[in-house]
Amino acid sequence: MAGDTGMAGKVALLLWAQTLGLAGAQTTQLLVEPPWTPPVRWDPVTLTCQGSGATTWYRDGQSWWQKGPDEIFVTARGTYECERSKTGLSPPVTVSEDDLVLQVPARALLEGDTVTLRCRGKWNRTVTSVSFYREGTELRGLRDGAELSLSPLQLNHSGRYRCKGWVKHGAWQESAPVTVTVHGIQAHKSPPLSFQSSSRCQCWRVPPSPPRGPP
C-alpha cells in the first residue's frame, strides 16, 4: 500500500515514540504521515494508531468509529484521537484547513539538529512576503522564502512560532501559533532499539462525514 518513503516516515515516528519512552510505558500513540504538525487537509494524511487492543476512533471529542482499523486516510478537518482497549487514549492530532499554516516536523527535535519550518497557503497557494515570528518578535536573516531554517537547534529555540504572508488570490493572512520544543541530547540517549514492522497493512479511507461502520 504505502511506498518506501511513507514507511520510512512511520518508522522514524515510531523511533521517536520509543526514544521518548512512550512505547515502553505502554501508551497509545497517533502517528502522522506526512510527518508534519499540524497536518493539513489538502495533503494525503494518514493516521496510524500505535498501541495494544481493539481500536476506537474519535473526531472532535465524539466517538465515531468503534472496532475500526489501526490506520486511516483522513479527508476532513478536525481533531482526531484513537483509543486502544489495552493502552488507552492517544494525544490528539488536529488536521487544519486554515488559509495559512505554519508546519513543524512531527518528530523529537534535538539539540544540534537542522530543522525547517514551512509556511503554507491553503491548497498549496503561493505565499509571498512571508515573515516569521517567535513569541511575538519578528525573526530576520533566517528565512528563505516561505521556509524558516533553525540550525543548529539550541534549547533557546524553543517557543511559539507563527508566520504571516500574502496568499495568492486571497489577502494577508496569519497562521495559528505552533510550539517548538527542543530537547537536550543527553536526556534522550538510550540503548539501541529493535522492532518489527510490516510493509503491508489494511487501510480504510475516511469520508468527510462520520460513517456508521467500516466500509
Tell me what pLDDT residue 198 has.
37
- Both 36 and 51 in one domain: the answer is yes
If one compares 188 and 130, the residue with the highest pLDDT of the two is 130
CATH number of the domain at 195, please: 2.60.40.10
Tell me what pLDDT residue 208 has.
52
Domain count, the chain: 2
Residues 92-148: tens digit of each pLDDT: 999 999 999 999 999 999 999 999 999 999 999 999 999 999 999 999 866 678 999
If one compares 202 and 126, the residue with the highest pLDDT of the two is 126
Nearest to 124 by CA among 147, 101, 95: 101
- Which residue reads 491553503 in cell numbers? 122
Tell me what pLDDT residue 80 has.
97
Q: Which residues, at least 6 apart from 212, have a Cβ–Cβ distance to it below 8 Å?
A: none
Tell me what pLDDT residue 22 has.
40
Mean pLDDT over 18-26 rounds to: 46
pLDDT-derived band at 63, boundaries 50, 70, 90 = very high
Mean pLDDT over 183-197 rounds to: 53
Mean pLDDT over 15-44 rounds to: 76
In a domain, 61, yes or no: yes
pLDDT-derived band at 175, boundaries 50, 70, 90 = very high
pTM for the predicted model, two decimal places: 0.75
Residue 104: Cβ-neighbour burial (10 angstroms; 0-12, 13-18, 19+): buried
Q: Which residues, at least 6 apart from 113, have a Cβ–Cβ distance to it below 8 Å?
A: 151, 152, 153
In a domain, 215, yes or no: no
- Both 58 and 91 in one domain: the answer is yes
Tell me what pLDDT residue 109 has.
95
- Both 127 and 54 in one domain: the answer is no
pLDDT-derived band at 167, boundaries 50, 70, 90 = very high
- Both 89 and 121 in one domain: the answer is no
C-alpha cell of 124? 498549496
Give the lowest-confidence range in 12-16, 75-79, 107-111, 185-189: 12-16
In a domain, 211, yes or no: no
Domain range holding 63? 4-96+191-205
